[in-house]
Amino acid sequence: MEKGDVAGQDALPLTGVPEPLWAASPSKLLAFLDCPRRYRLQYLDRPAPPRRGQRAHTSLGNAVHNALRDWWDLPDPRPEAGAELVDRAWIDVGFRDGTQSALWRTRMREAVTTYLGDVDPASHPVGIERTVSFVSGELRLTGRVDRLDDRDGELVVVDYKTSRVAPTDDDARTSLALALYAAAVWKMFRRRTLRVELHHVPSGTRAVHEHTPESLTRKVEQARSIARDARRADRDFAEKGAESELFPPRTGPLCGWCDLRAHCPEGQAAGPEKSDWAALEEPAPRKEPEWSRD
């Protein structure tokens, strides 16, 4: 073999090599679906543009999620212990002032305690804040499930909500994230997983949907379709940068809540920006953004 042969072979185009998987979370897919401009700012622009500070409803939601996570680790998980965990996890960021923060901390202490009163501590979940994933075609999907229950031999995906507006059964039915979590759980655990639930902690209500294998398949196909479009846009961005025309803004009510609107003139023109504590003083938009948690 001549010295130049190896280099020459390396220079030949490779054929039959599968394309690398495109990694995504439900939040990433929904960001592209809801607003390609936001997707570009969040996932592609480098250096990443700075975001606005954390809003109060995010601080509140994180504190409640952390309290409900840590409750299962207590040696004696009584409902009233949830209030102390809320205190321990509370994040005093984004509120109008200390008075508003104290008011909502008290409300969430009571809400978490009441919610845990209907939870059986002896029925320990299969997973808490469990990372799940699956591969379908060119898509590698990864997400995080708040709670995974075992009920009558089947697994149930549980997602906590702390918004002002309680979700409905239709919200559970249409949620792309919940369906993808269920598909990932079924594949990872090899156990039937069709039921998804949204537990609204402030009201103690539950929004429920029972998927079918066919409806989960349709949701996975929807995710793959979004992923193909996003991947095509990624390639265009790699070639053209900010000159790419595949990242138009989709303006609407959510622009007032977007933490990247400072970098989007169209979003700024869509309406006034919401205050850090606006979601605690008025009903949140019926279609809430699902960008923050997976």
Q: What is the pLDDT of residue 133?
A: 97
Q: Is the peptide bond preceding residue 47 cis, with omega within 30 degrees of 0?
A: yes
Q: What is the pLDDT of residue 19?
A: 77
Q: Please give the chain's pLDDT, 294 residues, in tens.
A: 444 444 444 555 556 667 789 999 999 999 999 999 999 999 999 999 999 999 999 999 999 999 999 999 999 999 999 999 999 999 999 999 999 999 999 999 999 999 999 999 999 999 999 999 999 999 999 999 999 999 988 999 999 999 989 999 999 999 999 999 999 999 999 999 999 999 999 999 999 999 999 999 999 999 999 999 999 999 999 999 989 999 999 999 999 999 999 999 999 999 999 999 999 986 655 555 554 455
Look up residue 129 and give its amino acid: E
Q: What is the pLDDT of residue 5?
A: 46
As a residue count, the chain comes to 294
Q: Is the dihedral of CA 139, 132, 284, 211 positive or negative?
A: positive
Q: What is the pLDDT of residue 281?
A: 83
Q: What is the pLDDT of residue 7?
A: 44
Q: How far apart are CA 277 and CA 274, in angstroms?
A: 8
Give the SS3 label for residue 273. coil
Q: How far apart are CA 25 and CA 33, in angstroms?
A: 13
pTM higher than the cut 0.85: yes
- Domain ranges within the chain, ordered by starting residue: 20-45+125-251, 56-116
Q: How far apart are CA 174 and CA 201, in angstroms?
A: 20
